[in-house]
Amino acid sequence: MKTLNYAIAGFGAVARNHAMAAYQGALQFEHEVVPVLTGLMSRTPKESPLPGVKHYTDLNLLLQEAKPDFLSLCMPHHLRRDAVFFAAQHELPIYCEKPLAHDLTAAEELVTLAGELPTAMAFEYRFSPAVTLMKRNLHLIGDLIDFKAYFLHDSYLLPRPRTWRMTAENGGGALLDLGVHMLDLLAYLLGPLHYLGGEKGIQFPERNEVDEFGRMELASPLCTGTLEVSRIHATEGSGKTVTLYGERGNLSIDLERPYELRHYDLASRQTTLLRADNGLLAELMYPAPRNTMGFYQDAHTCSILHFARFLYTGEEDPLIPTFRDGLAAQKLLAEIL
């Protein structure tokens, strides 16, 4: 077994998922390469919560002592430029949380700085087995007519402490934070997207400076459709769904039910569940249902495992989204933000 060291720059909430990936990957799988967490970095001195993993406040010292093979960026997206510049100077591959940046100009600069450096974005929803099932079964519903994608939750519906995510400096709200996931996912399923129109709004201006909900009309090479996102919709269930409508029926996934694809056949008026088998799970490096740590963590782990394997083998992996995929989503967001 080959190990690849990595370090995390920025250690807020989402960084915990990036850190947990090392332990889940090592304990649950027998893969050719396993990522090993060797260092954490943030702007202020802290004690590392992980035994044997040192905390740093200086990237140069982190590089010297932790010796990472790639760097995971989890700091706020408007603070990433220096880290990308540092990584490029030291030819250190980058795994980056979404979105790529707070606006299009900054995103373009990060792509330029990274150059030919190996990069990956944490668009972890790509790695759901249900997404692969959907992509491989488009033929079941014939030519596509429409798509409906939703990413709705209620996390900002009630008052909460003010954070950087609620400020104009962040660059956007629900669309940038949640919509970016769906924009990448739809582009992966349907091909490059074009913005046709949309609207966004703020229900609670006394709390937020950025959009709390938004709707985008989009065109792909296969069909047009709509994406709706919100931080203030009270929903029962996950609120994260993608449905593709075709001439012979529809395909639908709930992103928090990663092992199944729903297929509605128009001719028979029957709905069938297509489930990910062990072969597909092994191909994706995704845990079996009995080993799940919840979709959100499983998908993060799977995403990091794919990037680590690519860095070790050099074999192209179409599942891995790069900085250029992040830039493509950023260009769509710039149209409405």
Buried b / exposed e over 239-273, threshold 16 CB at 10 Å, is: bbbbbbbbeebbbbbbbebbbbbbbbeeeeeeeee
Instruction: Give residue for tokens 């046709």.
Output: 196
**Residue 327, pLDDT score:** 98
**Residue 192, pLDDT score:** 98
User: In the chain, where does DSSP find H-type helix?
Assistant: 13-28, 59-66, 81-89, 104-114, 129-136, 174, 180-190, 278-284, 295-313, 323-336
- Residues contacting residue 114 through CB under 8 Å, at least 6 positions apart: 84, 87, 88, 94, 323
In this structure, are residues 242 and 133 in contact, taking their beta carbons and an 8 Å threshold? no
Structural domains in the chain plus CATH codes: 2-124 (3.40.50.720), 129-285 (3.30.360.10)
CA–CA separation, 128 and 297 (whole Å) = 11
In this structure, are residues 279 and 267 in contact, taking their beta carbons and an 8 Å threshold? no
In this structure, are residues 4 and 285 in contact, taking their beta carbons and an 8 Å threshold? no
**Residue 163, pLDDT score:** 87
This prediction's pTM: 0.96
From first to last of the 337 residues of the chain, give the pLDDT tens digit: 789 999 999 998 899 999 999 999 998 888 889 999 999 999 888 889 999 999 999 999 999 999 999 999 999 998 999 999 999 999 999 999 999 999 999 999 999 999 999 999 999 999 999 999 999 999 999 999 999 999 999 999 999 998 888 888 889 999 999 999 999 999 999 999 999 999 999 999 999 999 999 999 999 999 999 999 999 999 988 999 999 999 999 999 999 999 999 999 999 999 999 999 999 999 999 999 999 999 999 999 999 999 999 999 999 999 999 999 999 999 999 999 9
